[in-house]
Structure 1
Amino acid sequence: MASPSSSFRPQPSQASPPVALIAGPTASGKSALAVALAQIVPNAVVINADASQVYADLAILSARPTEDEMAGIPHRLFGCIDGAEAYNAARWAADATAEIADAHAAGALPILVGGTGLYMSTLLFGIAPVPEIDPGIRAAVRAMEVADAHAALAQHDPAAAARLHPADTTRVARALEVVRSTGRPLADWHGAREGGIADTIALTPLILLPPRDWLRERCDRRLEMMFDAGAIDEAEALLARGLDPDLPAMRAIGVPQIARHLAGEIDRAEALTLAQAATRQYLKRQSTWFRNQPPADWPRHETSLSIDNIDELAIILRDSLLTR
């Protein structure tokens, strides 16, 4: 691909306040790049856009930046939500909007960083005005076996079933409960999005999409390090709270696999292997989303990262922001 600098352009005008966005799949180097950028602009705040890193209970399993990795840069919306809460994209978008406004009021550059595409889409382009789902329908859908839910979705919303992998339990259940409760496919509701801040800011985005094999290796190694660094103890503490297993924090990668290990169903090595497999599946979904869903003019950086090219990319981002 061409140098990312050739793709950046103001959105929508020079008068709009700047926001940087660094997005991409897990383990792609987003956090390191965000800090590198923050270190070379006059004033910056890093704002989390990752659905797992918001949870206080998942410091290790979400790969939340440590104090050393934050390098003294202010970080917002990291580890701020209790695992007992069902945090979602709409709440995050409201919280992120407030953090962006606070940063601008303080003369700071907001740097959004994360891998949750739904969060970013909701913040920038608005949220679908889906009515409240009937609780009975929701409970029935969530109680279904994965294969049965996908088969039912294929009957009610064939386009969504064709788009969603049967193992993507969260999105399959969401699509099915929406069409059953409202009589309209989720895609119809998405076409009527409301809100979004994209027209009020000057966005400088960059999507990191390193080679898949490079990412898989990094993810496998990182999970090994997590298990060695106390991930099992972290998951055990969360499980000991007796929370609803359908809560997002309880379904975070690593937690269900460690739960089986702690229950004596599998050993530590198998729990690690299963968590690595789940991460690779998640990585595939993320990569597909970031290749196809964001606007076509958002630049994609498709080479693996090193210390040298992280610094180079940070300089490109800084220069693009300062020349708006």
Structure 2
Amino acid sequence: MNIISPKQDQNVALVVGPMASGKSALALDIAKKQPSVIINADSAQVYSDLTVLSARPTEQEMDGIEHQLFGYIDGSEACSAARWANDAKTAIANAHERDLLPILVGGTGLYVRVLLDGIAPIPEIDAEIREKIRKLEALEAYQALQTLDPVSAARLNAADITRIQRALEVIQSTGKPLDHWQKNKTGGIAANIQLHPLVLLPPREWLYERCDLRFDQMIDMGALEEVQRLISRKLPSNLPVMRAIGVSELAKWLAGDISEEAALEQAKTATRQYAKRQYTWFRNQSPSEWMRIEGSFNNDIDSIIETILR
């Protein structure tokens, strides 16, 4: 096998795909063949409060391989893509200094995109403008955006109120459309590293079955108790940790609002829907030159790893 040098061209391996796709196991297989550090790129697994519901690897599953940026943020904080990207840059640089290959693994495409391409340097939005825009009805906001920023309006679905509000507040607060800022992203590392990417896109039916099985396993591993601990913290409901898949469903079960059967079915449905969105994102948004595996890969792991490490 032609093993790459971690420092040569600042190599970075990347294994991404939807939840339950097997990306973590594959990253671990790579790390066993090449001295490495596995770096989390999943927005749920950054939180210390979501050990079970985020399917964060256990000490046993880490199998002696160093893992970073897993469970390192308290649930009372909201981790942004920009914050994670800065932390990932530090972890990558540290790995290179130690002659270790950084292996980014996760399912949050936005995190990976910000790390590689940078972030639009949008100035802070005026609070009064934001408050005024948030009070607009969806149609009213969309019509205003069509007038002020027709490029963004044409790109967005008229029902996507969150993105419409964001584009509208940017143009009103900064005087420049969102497209202007997005064309001038800063802080990306893509030009400074040699990326070895792999996108996993397993068969959909297999993926959805794995999602259901994984949630059943989460219940056995203490997901209900994890949600109970979160509830006891009385954290604001708008924090990411409180909006994680499974939290609201299990919380309603604990409160007696729905039955166990209904809670599990709702949580599994939400899990499958999220996995579907991740699948679609990585299939359509990942650069065409990135290596992709569509379908089963269990019988070809060694050749896959060899290809990545060239």
TM-score using structure 1 length: 0.84
Quote the residue 1:54 is aligned against: 46
Whole-angstrom distance in 1 between the partners of 2:267 and 2:168: 26
Out of 237, 244, 259, the residue aligned to residue 229 of structure 2 is 237
Equivalent residue number for residue 228 of structure 1: 220
1:300-311 → structure 2 map (5 Å cutoff): 300-306=292-298, 308-311=299-302
- Which is bigger in relative contact order (C-alpha 8 A, separation at least 6)? 1
**Residue by residue, what CA displacement relative to the aligned partner does 1:133-171 show, whole Å, maximum 9, x if unpaired?**
334555677788xxx558844752433432x985xx866
Partner of 2:149: none
Matched, 1:118 2:85: no
Alignment check: 8 A CA contact 1:207 1:301 kept: yes
Correspondence 1:205 to 2:197:
yes
- Superimposed CA distance per residue, residues 270-300 of structure 1 (whole angstroms, 9 cap, x where no aligned partner): 1111111212221222112111222210111
**For 2:288, what is the secondary structure of its paired residue?**
coil
Between the aligned residues of both structures, percent identity stands at 54
Q: Displacement of 1:178 after TM fit?
A: 4.2
Q: Which has the larger radius of gyration?
A: 2
**1:161 aligned onto 2:156:** yes
| 2:13 counterpart (20, 36, 42) | 20
Shift of 1:47: 0.4
59-68 or 309-318: bigger deviation: 309-318
- The yes-or-no answer on 1:72 pairing with 2:67 is no
Change in CA separation of 1:109 and 1:125 when aligned onto 2, cut-off 3 Å:
same
The unaligned stretches of length 5 or more in structure 1 are: 1-9
2:253 to 255, 261, 268: 261
Deviations 1:103-149 (A, max 9, x none): 000010000001111111111110011222334555677788xxx55
Partner of 1:7: none
Contact 1:214 1:304 in 2 (8 A): no
- 1:314 — aligned with what? 305
Q: 2:148 maps to which residue?
A: none
The aligned residue for residue 5 of structure 1 is none
Q: 1:262 to 1:184 in 2, by over 3 A?
A: farther
Equivalent position amino acid for 1:313 in 2: I
Query: What is the CA distance between 1:29 and its match in structure 2?
Result: 0.8
Superposed CA RMSD: 2.6
The gaps in structure 2 that reach 5 residues or longer are 146-151
Distance 1:46 1:259 in 2: 32
Question: How far off its partner does 1:99 sit?
Answer: 0.4
Cα deviation digits, residues 229-256 of structure 1 (max 9, x gap): 2111101111211111111111111111
The question of whether the paired residues in 1 share the 8 Å contact of 2:167 and 2:178 is answered with: yes
**Does the Cα contact within 8 Å between 2:153 and 2:164 map onto a contact in 1?**
no
Native 8 Å contact 1:206 1:301 kept in 2 = yes
Q: Distance in 1 between matches of 2:29 and 2:80?
A: 28
1:246 maps onto 2:241 in alignment: no
Q: Which amino acid aligns with 2:292?
A: R
Instruction: Select the residue among 212, 215, 236 that pairs with 2:207.
Output: 215
Residue 288 of structure 2 aligns with which residue? 296
Counterpart CA distance in 2 for 1:260 and 1:135 is 34
Is the 8 Å Cα contact of residues 154 and 160 (structure 1) preserved in structure 2? no
